[in-house]
A = this chain, B = another copy of it.
Amino acid sequence: MKKKATIKDVAKYAGVSTAAVSYVLNGKESRVSPDTVKKIHEAIHALHYIPNYSARSLVKNASKLVGVIIPQTEDNRQLILENPFYSEMVSNIELKLREHGYHLILSGVDKGSSYLDISVQRNLDGAIIMGIYPEQFYEELKQVKIPIVLIDSYIHDNAFSRVGIDDEHGGYLAANYLIEKGHRNIALVTGTIRKDGVVEKRFLGYKRALREANIFYNPDYVFEQSVSYAYGYEAGKAIADRCPEITAVFATADLVALGVIRGLKESGKEVPEDISVIGFDDIFLASMFVPQLTTVRQHIARKGQMAAELLLEIMESESPEQVTRREESIPLTIIERQTVKPL
């Protein structure tokens, strides 16, 4: 079995030193005469030479590898890409990174092993971290000193760049929309409310909208557990069965909203006839669904692209340690569709 060609093979074939080969490989062709450059290119081609990134990574201390981290729920069993929201972001991130010669390591993160491991093991050049994690996680993250872009978190730390949206505003928008349509008993269905997480902010926005409308905030109306279709379904049934006075629900993710609608329906409540629902995200499902989901749109693809761009910018700057952390915010709009009925 033929072994893979190494830089030495190329050097020998071309009749030059490995250094020469390395120079042309790294675009420092000025170090080498045009003649030799040509010979080397021929050799590379003839031997089907492809550089070994592990070796390169060792000496350059740069791997051209980026980690993309997606949270997993408590039980550690939720599929990392269950929510199409993540799929869309990851797809866009992968595309952009690939265009710039980076590869992407996709990983969920489980409670046991720290994120640190993968980052150090693989000598990542950077990472994009989605969602929110225990505080200690970020402490570790800081230790590794690589460019990091946080998506959807409110961890303010000079060590991290962030891209996100104004979630408080989004929560406000959603709740306020329902209120304007005449609803007053508005449930909130959401994932666990964690400090510095998007859900917390949306929750705050929801409460502000209520307050401004002089609606008493009722803690019994918040259903807080996990961002999943299954939980939405559960909550939907609970609402239909136990809270007949509720006329509208705000789900902090479309995926959850769809579950809610299903749960409601199964307990005999039609949307929007009997009860209104508004979601958040505007995943592409939202418009496919029947009834089409009214929701707060964020530009998901753009979010992924921006995260990738931001990371690239830092990674490729001269001294990544010193580039000022940036924070990008994507605009938000209410998309009126079919799941909210004026009261």
Contacts and interface: CB of A to CB of B under 8 A. Distances in A.
Interface stretch (A92-100, A147-155, A165-173, A236-244): A92-100
A58 interface: yes
A9 interface: no
Contacts of A52: 58, 120-121, 123
Interface in A146-195: none
Interface stretch (A75-83, A208-216, A273-281, A328-336): A75-83
A87 to B, nearest CB: 4
B104 A107 contact: yes
Contact of A79 (B1, B51, B88, B122): B88
Contacts of A95: 79-80, 108
Interface string A103-138: 111111010000011101111000000000000000
B98 A108 contact: yes
B288 A289 contact: yes
B92 A53 contact: no
A63 interface: yes
A91 B80 contact: yes
Contacts of A108: 91, 94-95, 98
A54 B50 contact: no
A64 to B, nearest CB: 8
Contacts of A120: 4, 50, 52
A106 B90 contact: yes
Contact of A54 (B57, B80, B87, B289): B57
A258 interface: yes
A203 interface: no
**Interface-central residue, A54, A65, A91, by most chain B CB under 10 Å:** A54
A337 interface: no
Interface in A255-285: 258, 262, 284-285
A192 to B, nearest CB: 20
Nearest to A116: B50
Contact of A94 (B82, B106, B117): B106
Contacts of A104: 105-107
Contacts of A289: 288-290
Q: Which 9 A-B pairs have the closest CB atoms?
A: A79-B91, A81-B87, A290-B290, A50-B120, A54-B57, A54-B54, A106-B106, A53-B121, A87-B87
16 contacts: A54-B57, A54-B123, A55-B58, A58-B58, A80-B94, A81-B81, A82-B87, A82-B91, A86-B87, A94-B106, A95-B108, A98-B107, A98-B108, A103-B122, A289-B289, A289-B290
Given A262-B288, A290-B290, 5 more contacts: A54-B57, A54-B58, A79-B87, A94-B107, A229-B288
